[in-house]
Amino acid sequence: MVRYRYKKQNQDCNKTISSGKDKKFMCGIVGYVGKDKALSVLIQGLKRLEYRGYDSAGIAIRDINGKISICKAVGRVNDLEKKLRYDASGNLGIGHTRWATHGGVTVNNCHPHHVGKVTIVHNGILENYLELKTILCNEGYNFYGDTDTEVACAYIDYVYKNNSSSEIKDILEKCMNIFVGSYAIVGMIEDYDSELFVMKKDSPLIIALGDNGTYVASDISAYANDTKEYVPLEDMEYGTIMDNEIHIYKNNKELELLFNTLDVTNNEEGLQGFNHYMLKEIYEQKDLVSKWYNRYFNNHEIDSLVNMNDFKKIHIVGCGTAYHAGMVGKYLLEYYGDIEVQVFIASEYRYQKLFIDKDTLVIFISQSGETADTLACIKKVKEYGVMTLGIVNVENSSIARIVDKVIYTKALSEVAVASTKAYTAQVYVLSMLALKMALANDKLEIVDVKDFYLNLSNLIDKALNYDYKHIIDLIWKQEHMFYLGRNIDYVTMMEGSLKLKEISYIHSEAMAAGELKHGTISLMDEHSCILVMATLERLANKTISNIKEVKSRGAKVILLIREDISNNLDSDCYDEVILLPKGCYFTQPIINIVYLQMIAYEVAKRLGLDIDKPRNLAKSVTVE
């Protein structure tokens, strides 16, 4: 009998529910047991996970005769389909899209792995796999690939063969007491003809209920159209799943599962006429800023945000694009809140000495809510008893569940690997936190900025319809690019530079414009191309001075300058200029980034690259 109940959606503005479709991870896991043919269910699930980035795929089906058939292929799910037997029967199976970590991109290293009577798929890293492999080799096991997953599979088989208990849960508990590292494991044992088993630690795994069976996945988006009830497993939980029974344990005690109701109203499928998801998502920002305006200004959700004035200092932690959003937040919060703000890369923050106490607020930013390094940082700061705030896009994600407060960005699904609207959403939320501080500190009145936010949609539309041809002509053949700016423009250029390198593979470096003369100017010559941003009136002349330094050395300069401060601009200090519309200090970074997103997109398009799935990248990194 399934033991579960349903969780009511929390309507508190700091616990707002958004679409589960936005949860994105590195490798992908799917599993199914039910009334339908597992093959078609699993293939469809794998296809819905393709956006995350992967290099191989595989599937294992238990047929009606009890035989487990495995098919694996290097490349895309379409390559896997070409190798499948379409008459495969059976309503129990698992599937996987792999991104190589241990071992190269080969069929032998693809998941699922099968050893003895056990077949598994696995996300994460088993840190003690070499130690376990030595033990298993001494016990007569042979290995055909280089992965830690094959070792995990063999060890489960080893414990199963040498265990007196007939219950799978006892085998799983023994293995979890031995395994070191992160793992989401879904598997089958040949002697059990109607059930899957699951194990979870530090890597996402969900169970979902449908009319025709029970689903397992690393990401609810794999089955968002097939289910409305799901539960994310917590660390150190394990158990078995059948068509009409679910048994999940922790510390050898069976749990009552608290299922969530999935809101799929925001799950927008398909390209809807756009050539790429990235372009679609850049365009969606125009409508999203209007929705966010209604949320915070018309529905007054700004009033219910965390009171930042309760703290003496703030730490912001994130990776990649989330880190850049945090840097924008630093400038806004310090300027309007008169509070010390430090921003940290999560992979560094988790290993450094921390100087935090009860007067510190630590903000964690993650699009998926599952970023491994960021999650580890939360667990670390919890030991200090500090207040934690998550800024994430995904309902009930791991970060959202363990922080003290959460603000959902409500950016809808983002399929392209290079983040665009998720970044904008993070900056928007941070600007709301800064605005609340400014209002509380009597630094401005809300009427001073409402029109700037209200007009954002129109100003983004200008960026979307700008003719970038002459800009792209200067960039697309470059091997190296430099992005320069000062103050908040500098961190916007950090994000713009990242977008270019992510999807065009052009080496790009962002720096504070004042640092140019401290070494990097030695690289400037007639082969150099520089993007420079100047939208702060008080610093514009200093930035233009830096432009003249590189222009005098023959470099090509593309200047992005606010139109109202460009009147006295000397035309011989740039090759191309983009006149940016005026925003306020809160909204200008949002306006500016859309131009940089479009430049990156148009360059990659001119180069004919796979814009939505750039090489070597994944949507979210769930291993260290």
Reply yes or no on whether the pLDDT at 161 is more than 60: yes
Domain with CATH 3.40.50.10490 in the chain: 268-454, 460-609
Choose from 272-276, 487-491, 535-539 the range with maximum mean pLDDT: 487-491
Q: What is the pLDDT of residues 261-306, one digit of tens each?
A: 776 544 456 788 899 999 999 999 999 999 999 999 999 999 999 9
CA distance 228 to 263: 7
Fold adopted by 25-261: Glutamine Phosphoribosylpyrophosphate, subunit 1, domain 1 (3.60.20)
Greatest Cα-to-Cα distance within the chain, rounded to the nearest angstrom: 85
428 vs 547, residue with greater confidence: 428
Q: pLDDT tier at 89 (50, 70, 90 boundaries)?
A: confident
377 is catalytic: no
CA distance 493 to 275: 26
Q: pLDDT tier at 84 (50, 70, 90 boundaries)?
A: confident
With DSSP H G I counted as helix, E B as strand and the rest as coil, what are the percentages for the chain, rounded to 5?
A: 40, 25, 35
CA distance 511 to 196: 51
Residue 394 has a pLDDT of: 85
Poorest-confidence range of 156-165, 197-206, 372-381, 550-559? 550-559
Domain with CATH 3.60.20.10 in the chain: 25-261
Reply yes or no on whether the pLDDT at 518 is more than 60: yes
Is the CB of residue 422 less than 8 Å from the CB of residue 393? yes
Reply yes or no on whether the pLDDT at 2 is more than 90: no
Please list, in sequence order, all residues whose beta carbon lies within 8 angstroms of the beta carbon of residue 318, skipping any fewer than 6 positions away.
Answer: 324, 325, 326, 343, 345, 346, 364, 365, 366, 371, 374
Is the CB of residue 410 less than 8 Å from the CB of residue 424? no
Reply yes or no on whether the pLDDT at 3 is more than 60: no
Q: pLDDT tier at 116 (50, 70, 90 boundaries)?
A: very high
Residue 1 has a pLDDT of: 37
Reply yes or no on whether the pLDDT at 13 is more than 90: no
Q: What is the pLDDT of residues 341-372, one digit of tens each?
A: 999 999 999 999 999 999 999 999 999 888 88
Residue 18 has a pLDDT of: 31
Closest by CA position to 190, among listed 66, 37, 90 = 66
Poorest-confidence range of 14-23, 324-333, 472-481? 14-23
CA distance 299 to 290: 12
Q: What is the pLDDT of residues 214-270, one digit of tens each?
A: 999 998 888 877 887 889 999 999 999 998 899 999 999 999 988 887 765 444 567
Residue 578 has a pLDDT of: 96
Residue 398 has a pLDDT of: 87
Residue 87 has a pLDDT of: 62
Q: pLDDT tier at 527 (50, 70, 90 boundaries)?
A: confident
Residue 220 has a pLDDT of: 82
Q: In what order do the strands lie in the sheet with 56-62?
A: 4-7, 257-261, 227-232, 206-210, 213-217, 28-34, 92-98, 56-62, 68-74
83 is catalytic: no
517 vs 79, residue with greater confidence: 79
- Residue 61 exposed, middle or buried by CB count within 10 Å (0-12, 13-18, 19+): buried
Residue 86 has a pLDDT of: 62
Q: What mean pLDDT comes out for the span 4-32?
A: 47
Residue 177 has a pLDDT of: 95
Q: What mean pLDDT comes out for the span 542-557?
A: 80
Q: How many CB atoms are located within 10 Å of the residue 267 CB?
A: 17
Q: pLDDT tier at 491 (50, 70, 90 boundaries)?
A: very high
Residue 546 has a pLDDT of: 79
Is the CB of residue 202 less than 8 Å from the CB of residue 372? yes
Structure tokens that stand for 8 in this block: 């009511």
Structure tokens that stand for 469 in this block: 């041809």
Residue with tokens 């025709």: 212
Residue 6 has a pLDDT of: 38
Query: Exactly one of 27, 175, 529, 573 is catalytic; which is it?
Result: 27
Q: What is the pLDDT of residues 55-74, one digit of tens each?
A: 899 999 998 778 899 999 99
For 181: left if phi > 0, alpha if psi spans -120 to 50, otherwise beta; the answer is: left
Is the CB of residue 183 less than 8 Å from the CB of residue 190? no
Reply yes or no on whether the pLDDT at 186 is more than 50: yes
Reply yes or no on whether the pLDDT at 107 is more than 50: yes
Fold adopted by 268-454: Rossmann fold (3.40.50)
369 vs 506, residue with greater confidence: 506
Q: What is the pLDDT of residues 370-404, one digit of tens each?
A: 888 999 999 999 999 999 999 999 887 889 999 99
Distances from the Cα of 258 to the Cα of 5, 7, 276, 378, angstroms: 5, 6, 38, 23
Residue 99 has a pLDDT of: 76
CA distance 573 to 24: 43
Average pLDDT over the chain reads: 88
Query: Exactly one of 201, 556, 605, 619 is catalytic; which is it?
Result: 619
- Please state which CATH class domain 460-609 belongs to: alpha beta
Q: What is the pLDDT of residues 421-478, one digit of tens each?
A: 999 999 999 999 999 999 999 999 999 999 999 999 999 999 999 999 999 999 999 9
Residues above pLDDT 90, as percent of the chain = 66
- The size of the chain, in residues, is 624
